[in-house]
Structure 1
Amino acid sequence: MPKLSTFFSIFSFLFFSSFVASANFDFNANCLKAYQNIFELKLGTARQLIAAEKKIHPNNSIVPLLENYVDYFYLLTTESKSEFERLESNKDNRIDQISDDDKNSPYCLYAQAQINLQWALIRGRYGSYFTAAREINKANSLLQENTKKFPGFHLNGIGLGIINSVMGALPDGVLKSTLSTFGLKGNLQTGVNMLDKLAENLPKSAYKPFYEEAVFNYAYVLSDVARSPSAYAKTMKYTARIADSSLLKAYLQAYVCARNGHTDEAINILTDRPIGATYQAFPYLDYLMGIAKLNKLDYSAATYFERYLQTYKGVNYIKDANLHLGWISLLKGDASGFSALMAKTKTSGYTYHERDKQALNEANAPVPNTDLLKARLLFDGGYLTKALAILTDSKAEDFASTKDKTEYYYRLGRINDNLDNDDTALSNYQNAINTGKNLKYYYAAKAAVQMGKIYEKKKNLPKAKSSFNTAINMKGHEDENSIETEAKQGLRRIGG
C-alpha cells in the first residue's frame, strides 16, 4: 500500500478545494498522521501527535474528534468498564467544543455524530441501552442533516451505514424497543450497500485516508451484524490494501478467518501480527488464537486462554475462556478438571456478551459427549471432512439423552450443509426438529433456520417460508431472540 505521507498533499488539495473549511476544522497532515496511527492501533503515538497539534493549534476542533477515536479504540481493546466510566465524561466537553465551531464546515455535524455513535457502540456492551439508543438517534439526525447540507461529503455514509445495518438486524429486546420509541428504523441491506460502496470507491477519491475506517466498520457489519457468507472474501479483499504495520488489519483478518472456517489462515495471521510497545495491548488476540487452536483440536490452545485470563482486565469472554479450558480438560480425559472449570465458568466473569451467556448455559447443561464436541469444534474450524469422520460410525441410538440425539442430527446437518450435501442436510435438520423441538436447547430452532436457507437457495420459497416460520414459532429455547431475528430476515429476503 502506498505510504500515507504520499496522500497528504494530494488529499489537502483535493479535499479542501471541494469544501469551504474553517481553519478550526483543520484535518491537516499532523491530524491525518494521528488518525492513521489510531487505525494501526498505535494509540500512544497518536496521543503524542494529538497533544502536539493541540499545543500548536488549540482551537482546531478536529482534535476532540481524534481524542474520541483514541478513547474508542482504547475501550474496544481493553473492554474495561472502570476505564469506560472514567473516560465517559470527555464526551460532552468534546461535543461542546465542536458544536460551537464553524457551522459551515462539513465536519461540524459529522464530528458530533461520530462521537455520539462511538459512545453508543461502547455503551451498548454494558447494557446501557436507553442512553445508547438516544446517542444513536442523535447521531442519525446529525448525519441526515449533514447529508442535506453537504451531499458530496461521503464520510457521512460510514455512520449511516452502521446505523442502518445495526437497526435493520437488531433482535427483539430492550435496545430495539427503546430505539423504536424514537421512530428510528433501519434496513440491513441498505447499510451493507452503503459501506460496500465506500470500501469500493474511497481509494479512488479525495477521501482515500479514511479508507481503513470504512473497511473496519464494513468488516464488523458483514461478520457480526449481517453474518454474511461473503464476509471472508470481502474482508480479505478490502483489507489487502491496508499496510501490514496495522495491528487492526491483523485483527480484522484473523477474526473473519476464524469466524468463517479458515482456521489455519487465522493462526498464521495471529502468529505474524505486528508486535511491540508501539501497539495498544490487545488481549483479545490471545483469546482468538485459543479459539482457532482448539477448533483444530490443538490443546496448546490452553496456553492462550490462560494468558488471556491473566492479562485481560475487561468484562467479556471470561466465562467463555473458562468454558473452553474446561472442554480441553474433558477432551484430555480430566473429569475433575472439567468440573472445576465449569464451576469457574458459572461464578467468574459477566454476561454482557452473547458468548458469555451461552457459556453459562453450557456450564449448566449436562456434560457434553466428547464425539459431538470434537465434531462441533472441527466444524467451527472449517475441517468438515474430519468433523464428518468423527460422526460417520455413530447413529442416534448410540446417544442416551434426547439432547445428544438432537445435537447429533444437528451437527450432521450443519456439516453436510457446508459440504453442499443438501438432501442429507435437510433430512438431518428435520430429524433434529422432530427430536428436539420441545427442548430448551437451540439445535431444533437453528436447524429450522438452516433448512429455510437451503430451500431459499433452491428457490423453493414456500418451503423456505415454512421453515423460517417453524423457527419463529419455537419458543422458550436458548438463543431465541437471535434465531428468531435470523428467521425474520430470511422471510424478508424471500418476501414472506
Structure 2
Amino acid sequence: MWSKTLLTTFFFWFLSSSVHANFVMDPNSINAYNAIMDLRFADARKLIQDERTKEPNNGITILLEDYMDYLHLTLNNNKADYDKLLDRRSDRLDALEDNDKNSPWYLFSQAEVYMHWGVLKSQYGDYISSMRDLNKARKLLTENNQKFKDFTPNKKSLAWTELLFGAIPSNVRGVASMFGLKGNIDSGYRKLEAFKSEIVGSKYSFYNDELIFLIGLINVDVLKSKNNYDRLMAMSNEMNDKSLLKKYLQGYISFKMGHATEAINYFSAAPQTAAYMQLPIISYWLGNAKLCRMDKDADDHFQKFLTENKGSSYIKETYLKLAYHSLLQNDVNGYNNYIKLVRSKGAANDEKDKQALKEANDSRPDIALLKARFYFDGGYYSKALDLLKDQQVTELKLIRDKIEYYYRLGRTYDRTNNVAEALANYDKAIAIGRTSTYYYAANAAVNSGVLYEQKKDSKKAAEYFNAALQMKNHEYQNSIDTQAKEGLARVKGD
C-alpha cells in the first residue's frame, strides 16, 4: 500500500513538473530570434511553432512573438495594425507571469514586453500609457538585476531604458516627470556599446544584430551624428547577409547621413521575397534618395510605396515629393495635381505629414532652392553650393525664400566645415526669420549653438540655444526645442 501511494505521488509530481512553464533559450529559439532580426518572419513563425511542439511551455516563444509585432509596428508605422495588435500586450504579460519565477528570464521577458510597447505607444502618440510601460520595464529590470546580477541581458535593457528616458521629447517631459523618469543619453549609449563588446564570443552573442540596429538608429535619430558614417557602416556589415533589416538600416543610415548614392544601392539590394516581412517604407526612402540625386524614376518608388503601404503615415509627404518631382521635371500640371492630393489624402499626425500639408498650402517653392535642398539632403554638397552661389538673394521675392536661402547656405557651409561662413549665414537667417513660422531660423540657432559648443565657447552656445527656445509657433517646434534644451544641458554641464 505504501509503495503504491509513493508511486502515485511520484507520478503526479513528475506530471506537474513536466508541464510546468519555463524559459529555454535553446538553439531553436536563438534561430527563431535571428530570423526575426533578419525580418524573415515566415522562417521565424515555423521555428517558433517547432519550439512549441518540442517545448510547449517555453516562455521564450512569447517574447519572440512580441519581437515580431514590435519590429512590424516600428518599421511600418501603421496605426490600424497598432490598434489591432495592442491587446496582445496584456495577453503576453499574463502568460509570462505564469512562468518559472525562479528563472532570470522571468522578470526580464516581462520587462522586454513592457519596453516594446512603451516605445510603440510613444510612437503612436499614447504618451501617458507609454511612460507607464517604460517605468514598469525599468522597475522589473532593476529588480531582476538585484536578483540575478550575473544575467548579462539585464545590462542591454537597463542601458536602453536609461537612454530612452534621456531622449524623451520636450513636449512630453512633463508627463515623464510624473513618473520620475530620468535618464542620460550619453551614459545609456556608452553602456549599450559596452554591452555589445561584452557579448562577443559569449552565449549572448545572438543579441549583436539588435545592438547594431539600436546603435545605428540612436546615432541617426537621437545623437544626430554627422561624422560617424564609416564606423556605423562597418558595424552594420557584422549583421547577417540574409537580413532585410541590415539593408534597411544601411540604407537609412546612408540617406540620413548624406550618402544618397550609397542609400540607393542598399535599398535596391533589399530582399523582397515572401519569406520576409513586407516593408513598403524602403520604397519611400528609395524614392527620396533618388529625388536627391535628381533621378527621373524617383516617382516610380513613391508610387510603389503608396500602392503597398497600408498605414496613413507619410502619405501627404509622399504626394508632396511627387509634386516636387513633377516640378523639377517642368511638369507644372503634375505638380498642381499632386498638391491637391497632399491636401486631400492621408492624415496630418506625423511631423512630416504636418509639414507636407503646410508646404502644400504655401506658395510654390523656388526651383533653385528646391534643388539645393535635395542636393544637400543627398550629400551632394558641391552641387548645392554651386546652385546657391549662382542665386542672387535680391531676386527672391518672398521673405520665406530669403530666410531659406541663408539657412541652406549656412547648412551647406556647415557640412563642408567652413564654420565662419556657416555662422555668418545662420545669423542672417535668424535676423530675418526669428518671428516667422518657418523652422529655418530656429534650426539655424540650434546649429549655431552646436558649432560654438564645438569651439568650446559655452557662453555663446548657450545664447544660441536660448535664442532657438525663444522662437515660437514654428515648424518642428517640439524636435527643435528638444535639441536646444539638450544643447543647453550639455554646455551648462561644462
* 1:13 alignment partner in structure 2: none
Tell me which amino acid in the other structure corresponds to 1:269: Y
The CA distance in 2 between the partners of 1:80 and 1:171, in whole Å, is: 21
> Within the alignment, does 1:207 sit opposite 2:204 as a pair?
yes
Deviates more, 1:444-453 or 1:158-167: 158-167
State the Cα distance separating 1:255 from its structure 2 match: 0.3
Structure 2 residue 469 is the aligned partner of structure 1 residue 472: yes
Q: What does residue 388 of structure 2 align with?
A: 391
Question: Is the 8 Å Cα contact of residues 468 and 490 (structure 1) preserved in structure 2?
Answer: yes
Q: Distance in 1 between matches of 2:331 and 2:31?
A: 52
Partner of residue 222, structure 2:
225
Deviation at 1:437, TM superposition (A): 1.1
Q: SS at 1:494's partner residue?
A: helix
Q: Distance in 2 between matches of 1:114 and 1:181?
A: 22
Is the contact made by 1:77 and 1:283 (CA closer than 8 Å) also made in structure 2? no
Q: What amino acid does structure 1 have at the position aligned with 2:392?
A: K
Which of 291, 315, 320 does residue 318 from structure 1 map onto? 315
Q: Deviations over 1:217-257 (max 9, x none)?
A: 22222211222235533421221111211110111111000
Partner Cα distance (1:183, 1:284) in 2 = 35
| Aligned-partner Cα distance in 2 for 1:408–1:92 | 51
Q: Decide which moves more: 453-462 or 430-439.
A: 453-462
1:340-374 CA-partner distances (Å, limit 9, x unpaired): 21221122112332222221222222211110010
- Write the deviation string for residues 20-51 of structure 1: whole angstroms up to 9, x where unpaired: xx981101111111111001101111111111
Q: How many residues align?
A: 474
Structure 1 unaligned runs (5+)? 1-21
**Worse overlay, 45-54 or 116-125:** 116-125
Distance 1:80 1:469 in 2: 36
> Which one-letter code corresponds to 2:69 in the other structure?
D
Contact (CA 8 Å) 2:118, 2:130: kept in 1 or not?
yes
Q: Which residue of 2 aligns with 1:12?
A: none
Alignment-derived partner of residue 72 in structure 2: 74
1:63 aligns to what? 61
1:97 alignment partner, one of 95, 98, 103 = 95
The residue type paired with residue 108 of structure 1 is: Y
1:247-286 alignment, distance < 5 Å: 247-286=244-283
CA distance 1:352–1:125, change in 2 (3 Å):
farther
1:102 to partner: Cα distance: 1.8
Provide the secondary structure at the position in 2 that maps to 1:245: coil
Answering whether residue 285 of structure 2 is matched by residue 292 of structure 1, we say no
For the Cα contact (< 8 Å) 2:368–2:388, is it kept in 1? yes
Query: Does the aligned pair in 1 maintain the 2:323–2:338 contact within 8 Å?
Result: yes
Where in structure 2 are the equivalents of 1:108-119 lying within 5 Å? 108-119=106-117
Distance between the aligned counterparts of 1:269 and 1:312, measured in 2? 20
Q: Which moved more, 1:319-328 or 1:120-129?
A: 120-129
Say whether the 8 Å CA contact 1:125–1:352 is kept in structure 2.
Answer: no
The match for 2:429 among 420, 429, 432 is 432
453 and 78 in structure 1: CA distance in 2 versus 1, 3 angstrom threshold: closer
CA contact (8 A) 2:368 2:391 kept: no
Provide the secondary structure at the position in 1 that maps to 2:463. Answer: helix
Task: Return the alpha-carbon distance in structure 2 between the equivalents of residues 303 and 110 of structure 1.
Answer: 45
Q: Are the aligned partners of 2:78 and 2:313 in contact in 1 as well (CA < 8 Å)?
A: no
Is 1:155 aligned to 2:147, yes or no? no
Specify which structure has the bigger relative contact order, considering alpha-carbon pairs within 8 angstroms and separated by 6 or more residues.
Answer: 1
Amino acid of the residue matched to residue 492 of structure 1?
Answer: A
- Which residue number in structure 2 is paired with residue 26 of structure 1? 24
Take 2:132 and 2:395, find their aligned partners in 1: how far apart are those partners? 53
What letter corresponds to residue 449 of structure 1 in structure 2?
V
Asked if 2 retains the 8 angstrom alpha-carbon contact of 1:169 and 1:226, the reply is: no
Q: Offset of 1:97 from its aligned partner?
A: 1.9
Within 5 Å, give how 1:473-488 maps onto structure 2. Answer: 473-488=470-485
Structure 2 counterpart of 1:239, which letter? S
Deviates more, 1:347-356 or 1:315-324: 347-356
Match of 1:38 among 32, 36, 39: 36
Equivalent position of 1:457 in the other structure = 454
**Residues 295/200 of structure 1: CA separation in 2 closer, same or farther (3 Å cut):** farther
Q: CA deviation at 1:432?
A: 0.5
Output one character per residue of 1:269-294: Cα deviation in whole Å (capped at 9) or x when no partner. Answer: 12222332211111000001001100
Give the aligned partner of residue 302 of structure 1. Answer: 299
The Cα shift of 1:214 comes to 1.5
Does the Cα contact within 8 Å between 1:430 and 1:447 map onto a contact in 2? yes
Aligned partner of 1:238 in structure 2 is 235
What is the aligned partner in structure 1 of residue 118 from structure 2?
A: 120
Name the structure 1 match of 2:82.
84
**Where do 1:161-200 residues align within 5 Å?**
161-173=159-171, 175-200=172-197
Distance 2:405 2:87 in 1: 51
Q: Is the 8 A contact 1:126 1:352 kept in 2?
A: no
In the TM superposition, what is the alpha-carbon distance from 1:133 to its structure 2 partner? 1.6
Task: Provide the TM-score with structure 1 as the length reference.
Answer: 0.92
Report deviation, 1:167.
Answer: 2.1
Question: Would the aligned equivalents of 1:222 and 1:230 in 2 still touch at CA under 8 Å?
Answer: no
In angstroms, what is the RMSD of aligned CA positions?
Answer: 1.6
CA distance in structure 1 between the partners assigned to 2:462 and 2:380 by the alignment? 31
**What are the Cα deviations for residues 433-482 of structure 1, in whole angstroms up to 9, with x where unaligned?**
11111111011111111111111111222211211111111112111221
Kindly indicate whether the alpha-carbon contact (under 8 Å) linking 2:51 and 2:61 is maintained by their aligned counterparts in 1: yes
Amino acid of the structure 1 residue aligned with 2:472: K
Q: For residue 340 of structure 2, what is the aligned residue in structure 1?
A: 343
Q: Tell me, in whole angstroms, the C-alpha distance in 2 between the residues paired with 1:184 and 1:323.
A: 38
Partner of 2:363: 366
CA deviations 1:111-154 (Å, max 9, x no partner) are: 00111111122222321222212111111111121122222222
TM-score normalised per structure 2 = 0.92
Deviation at 1:407, TM superposition (A): 0.4
Assess if the C-alpha contact under 8 Å between 1:167 and 1:176 holds in 2. Answer: no
Aligned-partner Cα distance in 1 for 2:135–2:360: 38
Distance in 2 (CA, whole Å) between partners of 1:492 and 1:117 is 26
5+ residue gaps, structure 2, are 1-19
